[in-house]
Amino acid sequence: MVPLRFIGALLGGAILASAVANHAVAETVNVYSYRQPFLIEPMLDAFTKKTGIEVKVVFAKNGVIERLKAEGVNSPADVLLTVDIGRLNDAIESDVVQPVKSAVLAARIPASFRDPDNRWFGLTSRARIIYASKDRVKPGEITSYEQLADPMWKGRICTRGGKHVYNVALFAAMIAHHGEAKAEAWLRGVKANLARKPQGNDRAQVKAIHEGECDLAIGNNYYYGNMLDTAEQKPWADSVNLVFPTIGGGKGTHVNLAGVALAKAAPNRANGIKLMEFLAGDEAQSLYAERNYEYPVNPAVAWSKKVESWGHFIPDDLSLAAIAELRGDAIRMVDRVDYDG
């Protein structure tokens, strides 16, 4: 029998809704999550231990926002956990979340990692880095995203699809820093330098470097830790150096986030806010950092020693909300340059 704590893949219909609703008692908080159970369970267990509030989680790879829209005012969800600024922005545009006024969240989360109208809050950040071949790319040979368009890298770059949310956010950041015309010229340059048609996930790009198919790849930093922890993939990780490139003339490394929002119909609103505040606190932020190879957004919390050993960088201070506003422009830019073609 599937434990009620984690109900997989939004099974759909009345079974799921009633299962969660029947357990939405006074000291419960119901979470809809894009984040995999093994990533968030330690934080939720710590919350329950500290507060006595039981956490019920519905996990799905997709369809969470659509479920919230369909359920409307009858939704049992209190909290939405998700990754990428795009999905948080989709939640706002779909009108399935509500603002939260919390002095605790405001104090713990920098302004660039929360919505100006308090409808979402970042919990962790992840750097979109360049993986560079140890054998074929000299240290210091590439230091910025802009250099990916340099003809010296022709036939030497691998990426996943241009419309994946991680790349869309990076391309939107390029638009924010350079304007649409220059960003589009840059993306055309990157496309001209591709070793193959965009495909696979971030780990697949590092595998391609290991196999000699390309020399540079774009990917999130935490995949490096995931690969080191996987025997089959460790040789891929061992074949690359991590580059934390700058954007916009040295303004720091582009980062995205995993975040949280309060569901619009939250039946356990107070408990939902308590969970959000806990996830932004020292204990949960430290657990995130240790387990997920991500960076705490709370500046009072140290990076994990393992992640720190990979190198220091200054995050680009461009607001994630500003990036979200340019996602549509970035997607249209991908189409115009036929990046995935």
Model's pTM, two decimal places? 0.89
**Could you tell me if 212 and 189 are in contact, meaning their C-beta atoms sit under 8 angstroms apart?**
no
- With bands split at pLDDT 50, 70 and 90, how would you rate the model's confidence at 6? low
Query: Can you read off the two tokens belonging to residue 221?
Result: 């930093």
Residue for token pair 């790319």:
137
- With bands split at pLDDT 50, 70 and 90, how would you rate the model's confidence at 291? confident
The yes-or-no answer to whether 6-125+255-308 and 127-254+314-336 have a common fold is: yes
Work out the burial of residue 163: count CB atoms within 10 Å of its CB; fewer than 13 is exposed, 13-18 middle, 19 or more buried.
Answer: middle
Percentage with pLDDT > 70 across the chain: 92
Highest mean pLDDT among 32-41, 58-67, 271-280: 271-280
* Residue 304 DSSP code: P
- Euclidean distance between CA atoms 59 and 164, whole angstroms: 20
- Euclidean distance between CA atoms 233 and 282, whole angstroms: 32
- Mean pLDDT along residues 91-109: 97
| Comparison of pLDDT for 37 and 196, the residue scoring more | 196
The domains of the chain are located at 6-125+255-308, 127-254+314-336
Query: Can you read off the two tokens belonging to residue 123?
Result: 């919990």
The answer, yes or no, to whether residue 16 has pLDDT greater than 60, is no
- With bands split at pLDDT 50, 70 and 90, how would you rate the model's confidence at 142? very high
- Mean pLDDT along residues 12-41: 67
Strand partners, 218: 130
The answer, yes or no, to whether residue 273 has pLDDT greater than 90, is yes
**CA proximity to 169, closest of 276, 293, 338, 316:** 316
CATH architecture of the domain with range 127-254+314-336: 3-Layer(aba) Sandwich (3.40)
CATH architecture of the domain with range 6-125+255-308: 3-Layer(aba) Sandwich (3.40)
**Could you tell me if 146 and 186 are in contact, meaning their C-beta atoms sit under 8 angstroms apart?**
yes
- Euclidean distance between CA atoms 245 and 242, whole angstroms: 9
